[in-house]
Amino acid sequence: MKLLSRRTFVQGAALSLGAAALAPRLGFGAQRQDTAVLPQKTPVTGSKKITPGQASGSVAKVYFSPFIDEASLIKLYNLVNEGIYGKVAIKVHTGEPNGPNILPRELVAALQKTIPDSAIVETNTLYEGGRYTTEGHRKTLEVNGWTFCPVDILDENGDVSLPVRDGFHLKEVAMGKGITDYDSMLVLTHFKGHSSGGFGGSMKNIAIGCASGQVGKRQVHGTNMEGKPEFGTSAKKELFMELMADSAKAVIDHFGKHITYINILRNISVDCDCAGTRAHTPTMKDIGILASNDLLAIDQAACDLVFAAPDSKDVIERIESRHGLRQLSAMREKKMGNPQYELVVVN
């Protein structure tokens, strides 16, 4: 595990104290002090939440902080980064132009500076928007402030097919060719709703976010492979969740033990950051940050926190109306994570 420098530690301690002072005013988890023992209210359980001593067999650890600040983010990353080495891809959803809910750039920048030889990675979109072409995508990156480190658009120079081992529907998925240039990956996710997936967690971030814009994303969406994509007839509900699971499986099998995950539960709109300025204003309070080496466990834990929150009616309706919880059961069926997890609160 990488250690923080003394200077970073001192700065982090100061930031944590500041965040703690602000927490009641900002609502950063202030009403969720017993998060670790909250009942698991998510209707679908891909990974069962347990308390210490309940487990039979292995258990995934999911670390949680109710404070969304630089110090907490760095602290949690250092608890799950043992497999991160070499050239590091940081998979972030950088959003459509001027998107109001995307991750704060200063938050991501603080973390990225602690990760040697790292770059943010993205892919172009299948729909026509601010990230449809590489040229337009680079302009959008500037507009949204992603200028503090290298940003690699993985499909700028084409695709590479990664195999899907024991998938539901797909045998391979076209990813941005640049993915093979990296030794390890940090999946840094803004957890929120999604128009088709119900929710966008770590699985969605790599399943759609690593797939190439004009080939891989057609495969994941189950749409026509030539001409203008027909989104009206693309995969929906269970089929879409299973296609995403196939694509995510290709990514996690590719990196093996050299991939880890962080979900940041803030500005949780019912809409994805793909919606840009059209995204609905969040109607629930920020929750905190999760970190884990287990893909299924971290997305399960995020859903568990959302379903337990008293102000999550709109987000729950979005998830359930799209059958989004099939993401969790699909990952369990394909052994993409541990069927048991423990939530460890880190203050």
pLDDT tens column, 66-80: 999 999 999 999 999
Rounded alpha-carbon distances, angstroms, from residue 221 to 172, 258, 343:
14, 27, 32
Copy the structure tokens of residue 218.
Answer: 């057609």
pLDDT at 133 over 80: yes
CA-nearest of 25, 6, 32 to 289 is: 32
pLDDT digits (tens, 9 = 90+) for 288-338: 999 999 999 999 999 999 999 999 999 999 999 999 999 999 999 999 999
| Cα four-point dihedral sign 139, 270, 308, 42 | negative
pLDDT at 27 over 60: no
pLDDT at 21 over 80: no
DSSP-derived secondary structure for 110-137: HHHTTSTTEEEEE---SSSSTTSSHHHH
pLDDT at 101 over 60: yes
CA angle 256, 260, 264 (to 5 degrees): 155
pLDDT at 18 over 90: no
Backbone angles phi, psi at 76, to 5 degrees: -70, -40
CA-nearest of 269, 307, 296 to 190 is: 269
pLDDT digits (tens, 9 = 90+) for 28-48: 344 444 687 889 999 999 999
pTM for this one?
A: 0.90
Residue 24 confidence (pLDDT): 34
DSSP conformation class of 324: T
Is residue 109 a contact partner of residue 144, using CB atoms and an 8 Å limit? no
Task: Please tell me which residue, 5 or 131, carries the higher pLDDT value.
Answer: 131
Rounded alpha-carbon distances, angstroms, from residue 286 to 101, 184, 280, 303:
12, 29, 15, 13
pLDDT digits (tens, 9 = 90+) for 226-281: 999 999 999 999 999 999 999 999 999 999 999 999 999 999 999 999 999 999 99
Pairwise CA distance, residues 313 & 270, whole Å: 10
Residue 31 confidence (pLDDT): 41
